[in-house]
Amino acid sequence: MYESKSISTRVQNSEPSSTVMIADKARLLREEGQKVFDFSAGRAFEPTPGYVIEAAIAAMRSGDTHQTMAKGTTVYRKACAAKLQRENNIIADPEKELVATMGAKQGLTISLLALINPGDEVIVEDPCFVSYKQTIQYLGGKAVPVPLRPENKFRWDKEELENHISPKTKAVILCSPHNPTGVVHSPEDLRELASLAVKYNLYVITDEVYERMTWGGRRHVNLATLPDMKSRTITLMSLTKSFSMGGWRIGFIYADEAIIKELEKLQQHLITSVNSFVQAGGAVAFGQEPLQEVKTYWTEWEKKVEYFTGALNDIDGLKCDMPEGSFYAWTDISALGISSETFATRLLMKENVAVIHGSSFGQTATDYIRITCVKSWEEIHEGLRRIHAFVQGL
């Protein structure tokens, strides 16, 4: 007799993505006719810039509706290379050092797929974006979290990081500006990480999707530009956040030729290619200096983040600093004496306000909630009023 078959334990034992699950829940409530204030997933209120939409429509109308090269169209990759040169001081060969991805998440998956052998360890920050650990686990690797402590302003402690490196460590995943804490790693932080990567021969996957969101005049530095780092860095970029293009699913990976060759194989088998007309829109977004329309988003977002975090900080029981970057309010709720999960669940039930519980980002974050600040001013004001009422009622 054959035993009855079931879904793989790898998938059965995995947790859903809190960011996507809660955003879906909020959407369902809206579809049911409720007024919901959704500050959960990192999705901005603004629409995709008109000139990018026009480019995609024109591409569709002109017949650009077929699969493209697996690594992306030449036009798209050239646009990505132009962006890297213009904004990041990186000279990338569009033929050999770039591959188009369906957003940074799909870029992360193929990067890890290319690196991990069963049992390999990958160091992640704790807290970190909810899908890092899960993806590592899906691929048979082991995620090794290194705490980012509030008392250290959510930065790595070099010694602690080094203590987590073992002979099985294959890679480190870095996110800067950081989701969820908003830390922007300084050149010094990056030099320290680079020295460990070189010393222990590690790869580093850098998730740079928030690179345009550095506040207070700070600058984003690309790890790949540091000495000896180009060959061991896999840089993930996307238009999801900065151009408010989350639904397009478009990004790219910049890495050494030897890595890109392998990633291209993965794209051939896994997705064939990124959607053709989406790449046409992406080429216009990356290929030229962003138009004023987009730049306005970024200045507006800094104002919204500043306003939101300041107002949260004024609520008795909540503590929230202005982040160095990204568009999240990383809010300390420890004074309230309830778990972040209870806070988020009750807030949604009582006030129809959706936020993400910190515990889903890591063990160090059980006393935090993450709030996406970049919504309409109306939603921000009403959301804050409701959060205030909820906290007062506890």
**Can you give the binding site for ligand GLU, defined by CB under 6 A?**
17, 19-20, 41-42, 105, 129, 131, 179
Question: Does residue 111 contact residue 263 with C-beta atoms inside 8 Å?
Answer: yes
* Rounded least distance, CB 142 to ligand GLU, Å: 22
Q: Closer CB to ligand GLU, residue 78 or residue 357? A: 357
* Rounded least distance, CB 328 to ligand GLU, Å: 8
* Rounded least distance, CB 173 to ligand GLU, Å: 14
* Rounded least distance, CB 130 to ligand GLU, Å: 6
| Angle (CA) 303 309 315, round 5° | 135
| Angle (CA) 16 269 112, round 5° | 50
Written as six digits, the tokens of 110 are 């193929």
Written as six digits, the tokens of 51 are 């000139």
Q: Closer CB to ligand GLU, residue 42 or residue 281? A: 42
Q: Closer CB to ligand GLU, residue 150 or residue 246? A: 246
- Residue 139 makes CB contacts below 8 A (sequence gap 6+) with 112, 113, 116
* Rounded least distance, CB 245 to ligand GLU, Å: 12
C-alpha 227: how far from chain center: 25
- Residue 370 makes CB contacts below 8 A (sequence gap 6+) with 180, 328, 329, 330, 331, 355, 356, 358, 361
* Rounded least distance, CB 262 to ligand GLU, Å: 24
Q: Closer CB to ligand GLU, residue 69 or residue 205? A: 205
Q: Closer CB to ligand GLU, residue 50 or residue 247? A: 247
Give the SS3 label for residue 330. Answer: strand
Q: What is the dihedral of CA 187, 189, 191, 197, to 10 degrees?
A: -140
* Rounded least distance, CB 118 to ligand GLU, Å: 26
Q: Closer CB to ligand GLU, residue 68 or residue 214? A: 214
Choose among 319, 358, 353: nearest CA to 335. Answer: 319
Q: Closer CB to ligand GLU, residue 256 or residue 379? A: 379
Residue nearest ligand GLU, CB atom distance:
42
